[in-house]
Structure 1
Amino acid sequence: MVGGDRRSEPLGSRQEMKVDPFVSDFDFELIRPLSRSVRLNGFATCLRLEQVYWNILGGMAEHNGCSINTLLSHVDREVHLRHGGVKNFSGLVRVVCVMNGLRDTPSAVMP
């Protein structure tokens, strides 16, 4: 290993994975990016997210008894009120989805 580059190490010399990130029924369709037109507080825009995030947003919206547009408008409004906006709204939405999943997982370690 030169200069800390682990790419040249043989696979067997690395620490073995304790959790396989690819479950047996992994659905590669979940990584397919989809662009959708959404209205954020009355303004039309396009949001490109992977299918898995659209699925999570659908579940969050259903749980809140609203549409995905309403849910995203709430996220947009709150980030403007609390932080003056965000440069990467799609990144924010992805993190909101992940944090929502972590919140619902009792064993998740949150910083």
Structure 2
Amino acid sequence: MIPASKRTTGQGRWPGKQCIDPFKADFDMLQTQPVSRSVRLNGFSTCLRLEAVYWSILERIAAVNHCSVSAVLSYVDREIHLRQGGVRNFSGLIRVICVAWLQDPPAAH
């Protein structure tokens, strides 16, 4: 983390370069904790381990779509099999989908 003295002056590790602290003042480290949940993907039970922040984003995606998180995950699983024949790292795919959704959210949320 960047020391407070560096943050207030706008100086980072490299003298003469602007530095933007990526931590919000109320940053919650609990959002980084991995959480495992049992989910059903298209009828198959599995366990998915994601950081808490991603579960929160998935809940927002599900709310916008008026469905459950399991329904969102099943949709992604089905679509990735249809479009790409599957994926090796499903949890990584979910993380990227969450970030992409935040970058370009639908107007409804």
After TM superposition, the score normalised by the length of structure 2 is 0.82
CA distance in 1, matches of 2:73, 2:48: 10
Q: Deviations over 1:66-107 (max 9, x none)?
A: 0000000000000000000000000000000000000029xx
Provide the aligned C-alpha RMSD in A.
1.7
CA distance in 2, matches of 1:33, 1:62: 22
Matched with 1:75 is 76
Moved over 3 A (4+): none
Task: Tell me, yes or no, if structure 1 residue 44 matches structure 2 residue 45.
Answer: yes
CA distance in 2, matches of 1:68, 1:43: 15
The size of the alignment, in residue pairs, is: 95
Tell me: CA distance 1:87–1:14, structure 2 relative to 1, closer, same or farther (3 Å): farther
Displacement of 1:12 after TM fit?
4.3
Tell me: CA distance 1:14–1:33, structure 2 relative to 1, closer, same or farther (3 Å): farther
**Identity among equivalent pairs (%):** 55
Task: Tell me, yes or no, if structure 1 residue 93 matches structure 2 residue 71.
Answer: no
After TM superposition, the score normalised by the length of structure 1 is 0.80
SS in 2 for 1:11: coil
